[in-house]
Amino acid sequence: MSDAVELIRRLHEHRQWVNQKLLDAAWQLSDEQLHRSLEIGQGSIWFSLTHLYECLINC
């Protein structure tokens, strides 16, 4: 396997690991915490997570 292909494979595995960590953390939050208005990012944890999902399916 070429170095470039190996790098892409490792980056893909890392993205999957990070996404799972985000979902594991979000699962522990209440609906109120997920939807609480924030002054940074997408405006709430919920909107940030859905934004990430949209990027995954549209890229």
pLDDT, tens digit (0-9, with 9 covering 90-100), for 8-54:
999 999 999 999 999 999 999 999 999 999 998 889 999 999 998 89
Range of the domain at 41: 3-58
Provide the terminal-to-terminal Cα distance of the chain, rounded to the nearest Å: 25
Given a contact cutoff of 8 angstroms between Cβ atoms, the answer to whether 51 and 42 are in contact is yes
DSSP state, residue 40: S
Q: How many domains does the chain have?
A: 1
Q: How far is CA 8 from the centre of its chain?
A: 18
Residues in the chain: 59
Distance between CA atoms of 56 and 17, rounded to whole angstroms?
14
Helix (H) or strand (E) segment spanning residue 41: none
3-state secondary structure of 42: coil
Predicted pLDDT of residue 40: 85
Please give the pLDDT value at position 47: 94
